[in-house]
Amino acid sequence: MKTKVTIKGLVLKVASRCNLNCEYCYMYNLGDKTYKSQPKFMSQEIVENLLTKVKIYLIQSGSTSFQFIFHGGEPLLVEPDFYQSFVRKAKQILPSFTKIDYVVQTNGVLLSSVWCKILGELGIRIGISLDGLTEQDNRHRLDHQQRSSLNATLEGLVNAQSSKHLKYLPGILSVINLESNPTELYAHYKKLRVRHINFLLPDGTHDNLPKNFKPERTDYADWLIELFDIWFDDLDKDKPQIILFNQILNLILGGGGEYETFGGSKNLFLIIETNGDIEPQDSLKACGEGFTKTNLNIRTHTLEDSFQQPLIKNCIESHQKLCGQCKNCLVVEVCRGGFITHRYSKNRGFNNPSIYCRDLEKLLTYVSSKVEVLVNTKM
């Protein structure tokens, strides 16, 4: 029998610790300290358990594609043979009808050319977290001794870009820093030949707002609109793809798409902690101590068991279950309440608009009108 929920993949917390201590990190600095009781690294026993449960899920669902995202903490704190063994076991255990995609999301500090060779030979794609190319852009990404991570990350990026073993250039994941200048940032990324960038809004909830965030203003929308204009009007065929904008444009043009921030699709990733705990969206750690704990573990539960767990169910259906304000919103078909973590409050759970509501409304209205002008001009 086919399962009713189709998940795209698992985010594997292969390391629960990190060599950096970014100010906005939901793993360590937004109110949840449960990482301290987690094993530092995922064991082979957990790997075997999770691959067996993925096998059961794939056979029951018939899914022809599945993604493993190696995450942390910092996933390159794990020894390389962890990855070699993981991919070898996955080939042995998982059904051959499923195409497996592997991604590692790293801060890049340890990304040597040797790591690039190992990851490339295993077919693991690389995403690098970086907030820009200046010290100012990266001022929230310091190590535990308050030292800058910028040069080490840039070295990692260059290693990955120049590695002949990697089939795909690394993508960049940036948390928006309002102190950065979007025009300069875009020019820097272009100069560095970055091909894919995603921008994230800093995490927070209605009770735990991001530092210096002012919900009554639209600073993030203004920042993103400046970036959107430069990017949208850039006719260079090799310009970087900005995933956030591609997703918004796709939704505005009626293309559907399965995104966790916007749109009406279900959220389709589960988290596996280093001890095998099955959890929902990891940024929900910003909702408070132990918030993401579900009492489910990959040793004793299947992936299907987790689909009915209330918090995981909320996550999966976050773009379907909207508050009254969202239901009546002019941009609801694209926004769908935004990212689940940003909707949480202790009093009302997820029955809220996003803390970034004003920003989202302004940004989405702006992009829609720009697309409309373009479509009308071409008709």
Q: Which residues contact ligand SF4 (rule: CB under 6 A)?
A: 18, 20-22, 25, 27-28, 72-74, 107, 129, 325-326, 329, 331-332, 335, 337-338, 353-354, 357, 360-361
Nearer of residues 28 and 82 to ligand SF4, judged by Cβ: 28
**Whole-number Cα distances in Å, 15 to 76, 139, 240, 374:** 8, 24, 30, 46
CA distance 64 to 97: 6
Nearer of residues 18 and 303 to ligand SF4, judged by Cβ: 18
Nearer of residues 309 and 352 to ligand SF4, judged by Cβ: 352
Alpha carbons within 13 angstroms on the beta-carbon side of residue 349 total 9
If we measure between CA atoms, which residue out of 72, 15, 19, 18 comes closest to residue 40? 15
3 state SS of 346: coil
What beta strand segments (E) does the chain contain?
9-13, 65-71, 99-106, 124-129, 171-175, 196-200, 241-242, 269-272, 278-279
Minimum gap (Å) between residue 361 Cβ and ligand SF4: 4
Minimum gap (Å) between residue 18 Cβ and ligand SF4: 3
Nearer of residues 51 and 252 to ligand SF4, judged by Cβ: 252
Minimum gap (Å) between residue 220 Cβ and ligand SF4: 12
Alpha carbons within 13 angstroms on the beta-carbon side of residue 234 total 17
Nearer of residues 137 and 361 to ligand SF4, judged by Cβ: 361
Nearer of residues 82 and 350 to ligand SF4, judged by Cβ: 350
Contact by Cβ (8 Å): 198, 242: yes
Minimum gap (Å) between residue 279 Cβ and ligand SF4: 15
Strands 269-272 and 278-279: antiparallel
Minimum gap (Å) between residue 359 Cβ and ligand SF4: 8
Minimum gap (Å) between residue 304 Cβ and ligand SF4: 29
Nearer of residues 10 and 364 to ligand SF4, judged by Cβ: 364
Minimum gap (Å) between residue 65 Cβ and ligand SF4: 26
Minimum gap (Å) between residue 354 Cβ and ligand SF4: 4
The DSSP-derived string for 49-63 is HHHHHHHHHHHHH--
Q: In what order do the strands lie in the sheet with 9-13?
A: 241-242, 196-200, 171-175, 124-129, 99-106, 65-71, 9-13, 269-272, 278-279
Minimum gap (Å) between residue 53 Cβ and ligand SF4: 25
H or E stretch covering 155 = helix 150-162
- The position carrying tokens 């091909």 is 195
**Whole-number Cα distances in Å, 158 to 81, 109, 163, 328, 339:** 23, 11, 8, 47, 32
Nearer of residues 96 and 212 to ligand SF4, judged by Cβ: 212
The angle subtended at Cα 226 by Cα 223 and Cα 230, nearest 5°, is: 140
Contact by Cβ (8 Å): 355, 215: yes
Minimum gap (Å) between residue 231 Cβ and ligand SF4: 21
If we measure between CA atoms, which residue out of 164, 186, 26, 170 comes closest to residue 108? 170
In angstroms and rounded to an integer, the radius of gyration of the C-alpha atoms of the chain is 20
Nearer of residues 66 and 228 to ligand SF4, judged by Cβ: 228
Nearer of residues 185 and 201 to ligand SF4, judged by Cβ: 201
